[in-house]
Amino acid sequence: MNALQPLFNAITVIFIAVTMFAGGLATTLSALRAVFTDLRLLALALLANLVAVPLLGWGLAALFSLPTAGFIALILVAASPGGPFGAKLSVVQKGDVSAGTATQVLLAAVASLTFGPMSTAVLSVADVGARISLDVAALVRTVAVLQLVPFAVGLVVRHCARSTARSWHPVAALVSNVTFLMVLAGMLLGSWHDVVALLGSRTLLAGFVLAVAAFAAGTLLATGPSARRTTMGCVTAVRNVGPPLAAVGIAFDDAQAILGALAAVLISGLVAVLPIAAVLGHRRGDLT
């Protein structure tokens, strides 16, 4: 996988950028305004993602008595909301794509500032690991370049040239779908030995339970119709891998045990939430 790592990284970048661009193409300014002016929805989304899920991660790590590597990995994942897969799952479940994409971008931006303090606080109180000091400016730039800018460009195209947006959206959605599958395959191929080594361990189970609990928290702490609430659930369940990877490289010297546990937590979380989104999408498809 080391030889293919640059290719995998490039595909991941394409997936994130195209997914956000497609989200912008499918979003109207009125829909976006409705999300950002719904202060109760935004406050509940921030509460779910920045408070409830980190506390759930800490509680599950303690409940399952995870080994040090698994404990650290679960805390880092729980403290990092705004994963681009969340926007993708809003499409898979035929949910409120505008609300899901806008909220995911907002969470990624906010988490670029809160991830370091939150994860450091939990690990310090739990007396696990080292103090995490991240380049906040670099995280903000990454979020801006890969998520905010493509979404804004798609939004401008939708607003200024609606017919163009309609013709481009199916192509962007197709590229997003294909690269989504390639990223999933790359994660499995690149970390299968780490995941296999953790089979039967509590780390995989903790990652699975965290994703399900995060989906429940995001759905319950949301407003509006069912499609919007379950969309918030999927956005909450999918965490952002970038900050945890940076933290492992900076604070833990790329410790292989923590990287393996991180991959296991992320993959088990996707295994938990993907079927939920697929079932919701199937049911909503039957109703149309």
pLDDT band at 55 (very low <50, low <70, confident <90, very high): very high
Q: Crossing angle, helix 53-63 and helix 202-220, to 10 degrees?
A: 150
Please report, rounded to a whole number, the percentage of residues in the chain having pLDDT higher than 90: 31
Tokens read off for 219? 């759905």
Q: In whole angstroms, how far apart are CA 76 and each of 45, 69, 147, 226, 254?
A: 19, 11, 21, 30, 14
Angle formed at CA 175 by CA 174 and CA 177, multiple of 5 degrees: 65
Q: Read off the pLDDT of residues 180-232 as tens digits, 9 standing for 90 and up.
A: 778 767 766 766 666 666 666 788 899 999 999 999 999 999 998 999 999 99
Tokens read off for 68? 């040090």
Average pLDDT over residues 39-50: 94
CA distance 74 to 181: 24
User: What is the reported pLDDT for 288?
Assistant: 54
User: What is the reported pLDDT for 276?
Assistant: 94
Please report, rounded to a whole number, the percentage of residues in the chain having pLDDT higher than 70: 89
Say which residue, 125 or 142, is predicted with more confidence. 125
What's the gap between Cα 88 and its chain centre? 10
Average pLDDT over residues 71-83: 91
User: What is the reported pLDDT for 257?
Assistant: 79
Say which residue, 159 or 196, is predicted with more confidence. 159
Say which residue, 264 or 228, is predicted with more confidence. 228
Among 86-90, 273-277, 278-282, where is mean pLDDT lowest?
86-90
What's the gap between Cα 255 and its chain centre? 22
Q: With 80 as the cut, is the pLDDT of residue 265 above it? A: yes
Q: Where are the alpha helices (DSSP H) in the chain?
A: 5-25, 29-36, 39-47, 53-63, 68-78, 85-92, 97-125, 136-143, 149-160, 162-197, 202-220, 226-237, 242-251, 256-287
pTM reported for the whole predicted model: 0.81
Say which residue, 219 or 151, is predicted with more confidence. 219
Among 41-55, 120-134, 164-178, 267-281, where is mean pLDDT lowest?
120-134
* CA-wise closest residue to 215 among 69, 37, 116, 93: 93
Tokens 């729980």: give the residue.
Answer: 78
User: What is the reported pLDDT for 197?
Assistant: 67
Q: Crossing angle, helix 97-125 and helix 68-78, to 10 degrees?
A: 140
User: What is the reported pLDDT for 4?
Assistant: 66
Mean pLDDT of the chain: 84
pLDDT band at 148 (very low <50, low <70, confident <90, very high): confident
* CA-wise closest residue to 60 among 52, 71, 50, 68: 71
Q: Read off the pLDDT of residues 105-141 as tens digits, 9 standing for 90 and up.
A: 888 888 878 888 888 888 888 877 556 666 667 767 7
User: What is the reported pLDDT for 3?
Assistant: 61
CATH numbers and ranges of domains, the chain: 5-287 (1.20.1530.20)
Give me the DSSP letters along 200-235: TSHHHHHHHHHHHHHHHHHHHT--SSHHHHHHHHHH
Spatial contact of 125 and 62, defined as CB atoms under 8 Å apart: no
* CA-wise closest residue to 38 among 96, 83, 113, 82: 96
Say which residue, 127 or 21, is predicted with more confidence. 21
Spatial contact of 60 and 212, defined as CB atoms under 8 Å apart: no
Among 64-78, 111-125, 265-279, where is mean pLDDT lowest?
111-125
Contacts made by residues 120-125, CB under 8 angstroms, sequence distance 24+: 122/54, 122/57, 122/58, 122/75, 122/79, 123/72, 123/75
pLDDT band at 93 (very low <50, low <70, confident <90, very high): very high
